[in-house]
Amino acid sequence: MSIILGFLSGIISGMGIGGGAILIPALILTSGIEQKLAQGINLVYFLPTAVFALIVHIKNKNVVIKTALVIGVCGIVGAIIGSITAMNLNNELLRKMFGIFLGLIGIREVYKGIKTKN
C-alpha cells in the first residue's frame, strides 16, 4: 500500500497540487497512524519529490525565481510557526482542523468549476 500511496501522491505533487492532501489522509486511513506522524512522514516525503518537480518546472520556465524566493522565505517562517502550533495541539483537534481545511478547498474547487463552466 505504501508504494501505491507514494506513487499517486508523487503524481499529484509533480502537478503542483500538493501530495500531502492525498498522502496524509491516506496514511491515517490505511495505516492507522496519528495525524502528527502522518504529517511528519509527509514532510520527509515532500523534500525529494519537490526538488525533482522544481527542476522540471524551472527547466520548462514555469517559475519566477524572485517571487518564489519571497514566498519561500515567508513559507519558512510560517512552517516554523505552524510546526510549533501543531506540536501543541492534540491529535484529534489537529485531524479535525485538517479535515475542515481539505473540505473548504474541495468546496472552493467545485465552486470554481461550476463558475468556469457558466
Q: Residue 83: what residue type?
A: S
- pLDDT tens, residue order, the chain (118 aa): 778 888 888 787 777 677 777 888 888 888 888 888 998 898 888 888 888 888 998 999 999 999 999 999 999 999 999 989 988 999 899 989 988 988 998 898 899 888 887 6
For the chain, the structural domain boundaries read 2-117
**DSSP E strands, the chain:** none
The pTM of the full predicted model, rounded to 2 decimals, is: 0.66
Q: Residue 40: what residue type?
A: G
Element (H, E) at 4: helix 2-14
Q: Is the dihedral of CA 23, 84, 34, 102 positive or negative?
A: negative
Nearest to 48 by CA among 4, 6, 2: 6
